[in-house]
A and B are shown apart, each in its own frame.
Chain A
Amino acid sequence: MTPELVVAIIVTVVGASTPILIAALGELVVEKSGVLNLGVEGMMLVGAITAFVVAFTTGNHYLAILLAAAAGVATSLIFGFLTLSLSANQTATGLALTIFGTGFSALAGQGYSARPVTLLGPLFPAELAAHPVWRVLFGYSALVYFSLVLVVAVWWFLKKTRAGLILRAVGENDLSAHSIGYSVVGVRYAAVAFGGAMAGIAGACFPLLLTPQWAERMTAGRGWIAVALVVFASWRPFRLLAGAYLFGLVMTMELYAKAGGGPLSAIPAELWAAMPYIATIVVLVLISIRRDASTNAPACLGKPFLPSS
């Protein structure tokens, strides 16, 4: 393998990993507050179509990302209202949110398929970004650098700030947090909205970073993989980074296999396409064999907060 090929592979892996990483970091914060939102896939699709339409009509990529985040927040607030204000079942509501997001994005995307947008360009000047070797560090768009900063920011927020401590307290013991005067529902609303914003941006990665077009269900289960990665990473941001890049590698192998690249194409293309999902099961199983994965789960995860009962 030439250095150029290695660089090309790394660049592809980073791109494929970025949406999963952003969505998973959002879901990690949501789950740390004690809420399980299974609607990530739906919120990502709403973000993807929003980003596509804005980029298509205005040509402004950063506005597209911003509005995709806003659309993700709006979608997440449906979930927040049902589960936090009305204490509806979180599993069922999350599933309903994914069905809603799939339907909404397909409806809003009518007539936009097969229309092109341009991908978001690299952040750094062309001398660095297009350099055959140095593009491994400088050849990415702002979304990629954002995802890396986000890893550190989420870690720092949860570990080092007072607000992060309160959020974790709400997720570990909601009744105690309530009795010392913190607004459990308020904190969880904020976390759910943050998760929605990140899912929206993760969705925006699909038309702006990966394939410059809109296609129904274009997130193809990546939102669910993000949910699985949070378990895989035992709710730790840096482990999430490693997990997301591992998945990016699997997806990149699929791309190379489809392009007819040597030994990889000996395996049927369909098996390569199924690989990320099989890999998800395998890593979930491996992490559970190694130790009880649920020990690090927030104690109140998925349980409604009912102070009066």
Chain B
Amino acid sequence: MMQFRLEKRPEPSRTVLYAAPLVAVILTMIFGAIIFSVIGYDGVGAVREIFLTPLTNSFKWQDLAIKAAPLIIIGVGLSIAYRANVWNIGAEGQYIMGGLAATWVALATHGMGGAWILPAMMAAGILGGAAYAAIPAFFKTRLNVNEILTSLMLTYASVQLIYYLVRAPWKDPMGMGFPQTRRFAAEALLPNIVPGTIVHAGVPIAIVVALIAWFVMSRSVFGYQMKVVGAAPHAARYGGFSENRTIWLALLVSGALAGFAGALEVSGPFQRMVPGFPTNYGFTAIIVAFLGRLNPLGVIFAGFIMAITFVGGDLAQTTIGLPSAASGIFQSMMLFFLLAGDILVRYRLKRVAPQEARA
């Protein structure tokens, strides 16, 4: 009988590193079809609707673009933080605070008019997200409090803050009792860039953000510092890179980008603050960052792949009655396969003769 053994590669394999996300997507489609067939759905149909229809149906391309935009912007920030081994998993909360900060500007300037309002909202969103991420950064650098737990707890708290604001102080008096703010004035709305579609300015912005981040990460001292501190903290200390400064930068940058995404979402698709504003983009972007191999260019592709599962998940809900929760299962399966495949980056399978294997 043929047997296999894991053997350490002298160098991590770049081929496997970049092929693994593709293999993970394909395995997810195969296993997804099997699993959903076993539990009594049309498995092949589910995979077709979730992964292929959003690509073949050109009416769905605009949905893909506006779903991918926030995922890419947040995913880029997280990929920078994770490179530095800083585990910001509260991007959802920073996204919410960015959206709330932009909403505050929009409501305070309502009726003023002027082209400066939208940029001011974006700046407020960026600051709001960065400020919220500064809390875990402060506690991590000062007191070594685990940033995973603080950033996540702050996410739960920020959801309650939305509920409070739209229920009481920011509630639209003309809203017939609905807990939501008034619709933003025209000056506070993100312009559409493709006439006749829902594609807003956030889509090209997302691509530009990713390109800038790629350039900064691969060409600048900042990018080098992030990567060295993450990969080899001891060497980084000898090289004079401060670990605390890296933690601050990682959290502020990822928080600022998540807040920016929140400001774009509230001024774009939402047009007002509602209790349903938290849409899990901040959590899904964690998968996006990993699927993109913590590389801003990879994050662009991963953002679109994840957007496909969102749009496809909605399609499958209407066409074949697949529950909306199914896309979460597909997304986590993708991450499982990716993480499992990572062992082949560092190790290779080696065939061994049976007697050797026994010895």
Interface residues of A (CB under 8 A from B): 38, 78, 81-82, 86-89, 91-93, 95-97, 99-100, 102-107, 110, 216, 220-221, 224-225, 227-228, 231, 268, 270-271, 273-274, 277-278, 280-281, 284-285, 288-289, 292-294, 308-309
Contact = CB atoms under 8 A, between A and B. Distances in A.
B157 interface: yes
Contact of A100 (B8, B145, B157, B329): B329
Nearest to B146: A231
In the A-B complex, list the 7 residue pairs whose CB atoms are closest, starting with the nearest: A103-B328, A106-B325, A100-B332, A270-B164, A288-B143, A274-B160, A88-B339
B144 A274 contact: no
B290 A268 contact: no
Contacts of B336: 78, 82, 93, 96, 100
SS of B interface (majority): helix
A277 B156 CA distance: 7
B154 interface: yes
A78 B146 CA distance: 25
B215 interface: no
Nearest to A282: B153
A163 to B, nearest CB: 28
A86 B153 contact: no
Contact of B8 (A280, A292, A293, A309): A309
Interface in B316-359: 323-329, 331-333, 335-336, 339-340, 342-343
B89 interface: yes
A288 B150 CA distance: 13
B335 A96 contact: yes
A116 B332 CA distance: 30
B336 to A, nearest CB: 6
Interface in B1-20: 8
Given A82-B340, A103-B328, A284 B149 contact: yes
B152 interface: yes
A135 B328 CA distance: 43
A68 B157 CA distance: 29
Contacts of B343: 86-88
B107 interface: no
B8 A308 contact: yes
SS of A interface (majority): helix
Interface core residue of A78, A105, A228, A293 (most chain B CB under 10 Å): A228
A277 B8 contact: no
Interface in B123-163: 135, 139, 143-146, 148-150, 152-154, 156-157, 160-161, 163
B87 interface: yes
Contacts of A95: 89, 286
Nearest to B328: A103
A180 to B, nearest CB: 22
B183 interface: no
18 contacts: A86-B343, A88-B340, A92-B290, A96-B287, A96-B335, A97-B332, A99-B283, A99-B287, A99-B335, A103-B327, A106-B323, A110-B325, A228-B146, A228-B149, A270-B163, A270-B164, A271-B160, A277-B156
Given A96-B287, A293-B145, A309-B8, 5 more contacts: A38-B148, A100-B329, A103-B327, A227-B149, A270-B163
Contacts of B150: 281, 284
A293 B139 CA distance: 13
A285 B327 CA distance: 37
A299 to B, nearest CB: 15
Nearest to B346: A87
A281 B147 CA distance: 10
Contacts of A103: 325-329, 331-332
B193 interface: no
B25 to A, nearest CB: 15
A233 to B, nearest CB: 13
A288 to B, nearest CB: 4
A221 to B, nearest CB: 5
A284 B146 CA distance: 8
A82 B339 contact: yes
B328 A106 contact: yes
A285 B145 CA distance: 6
B168 interface: yes
A292 B160 CA distance: 31
